[in-house]
Each structure stands twice: as C-alpha cells, then as structure tokens.
Amino acid sequence: MIDATQIRKGMIIVMDGTLFRVMEMQLITPGRWKAMVQTKLRNIQVGSQIEHRFRSEERLEQAHLDEVEMEFLYQQGDEYFFMNLENYEQVTLTIEVIGDSVKYLKPNTVIEVELFAGNPVGVNLPKSMDLKVVSTEPRLQGATKTSLYKPAVLETGAVVQVPEFIKEGDVIRVDTRDDTYLERAKTK
C-alpha cells in the first residue's frame, strides 16, 4: 500500500479489483485545505480513460508486476510481436497495452514486458535509445552558438526536438521517458 502522494506517471494501481495505469498526475495544494492528487488513469483491461481525484491521506494498492525481458520482433497492423528471451515463446501485444512507447519500438530491441497474473499489461523501454534521424530541416546559415531547436523525424516515426547542427543520417541518443534529445550517439 502506498500513499496517494506517492503516485507517479506510468505506475499501475489497483482500484476496486481493476488495474489502472497512471497517465498523468498532479499534486494540488489549495491554501488551508488538505492536498489532493488529480490523476488521469487508463483502465488496462478495457482501454478507457478516467479522471480521479485522491485525498492525500488515501492509501492505494500498487500492482506488483513481473518484468520479463523480451525482444520486439515485428508489427502487423495494430499487433506487436515479442519473443521471451528465456523460453522463446512469442507474445502479441496491442497498441492499447503498449501505449506511447510504440513510437520507440524497432525490430530486435530488447525491452521489459510487464506481466500481471501472467498477462501482459505494459512495457518498459530502456531509459535512452540510439535512433537514426531520417528527416529534418537543413541547418540555417548564421545560426551559430545559439540554442535553436528544430523537429527531427527518427527511424521509428517519433518526432524529437534536436539542436540545429543535427542533420539527416545522424544517430542521436533520445531520453524515452520525456522524448528529449540527449546527445549525438557514438558511431562504431
């Protein structure tokens, strides 16, 4: 059991026997009143979203998940196929289960799949990934030593803001938690 103030984005909690993933959370402290936690939750089984406000003193059950390393193999329509690295069994996940992490999936990437009672309920990406820039605007002449950023489309389809000096074909390191550019990746 955890306090409502310990809720974090991405966490899976149990309410009335149903699993919910925390999509957004905000701690609200209105003057003399007690603090509240405003959340946006996604029902894992159904996929629907709700908003729920918790009092700060409320206690919640955090779902205990098993994490299994799996390799992303391929995509077919809205289904994504993964292989368990221990027993080579294949698991199919839908886009609803994967969520926003789908924009970083590329074949042969090893990720952690979260299981609750043997059923996949989500994925954990590595904190950072090296991805190739496939499309971006050319560098502006005269844009020197300023912190200008421009959008870049990566090989997986994700769009990230990158510095002006990044060009098509560069491999960059991206923070998958907040979709930010970290650095130019070292090429081998």
Convert the pLDDT of each residue in 31-88 to its tens digit.
788 888 899 988 877 778 889 988 888 888 888 888 889 999 998 888 889 999 889 8
Residue pair 28/37 in contact by the 8 Å Cβ criterion: yes
- Asked if residues 34 and 2 have their Cβ atoms less than 8 Å apart, the reply is no
Q: What is the largest CA-CA distance in the chain?
A: 59
Q: Are 3 and 105 in contact (CB under 8 A)?
A: no
Q: What share of the chain is helix, strand, coil (3-state, %, to 5)?
A: 5, 55, 40
Q: pLDDT (tens digit, 9 = 90+) per residue, 132-166? A: 998 888 766 655 555 688 888 998 888 999 888 88
Q: What is the pLDDT of residue 70?
A: 92
**Residue 1, pLDDT above cutoff 70:** yes
What global pTM score does this model have?
A: 0.67
- pLDDT recorded at residue 83: 92
**Residue 105, pLDDT score:** 87
Residues found in the chain: 188
Domains of the chain: 2-62 (2.30.30.30), 66-124 (2.40.50.140), 128-184 (2.40.50.140)
Residue 145, pLDDT score: 56
Predicted confidence (pLDDT) per residue in 14-37, tens digit:
888 888 888 888 888 887 888 888
> What does the radius of gyration of the chain's CA atoms come to, in whole angstroms?
20
Q: How many CB atoms lie within 10 A of CB 80?
A: 21
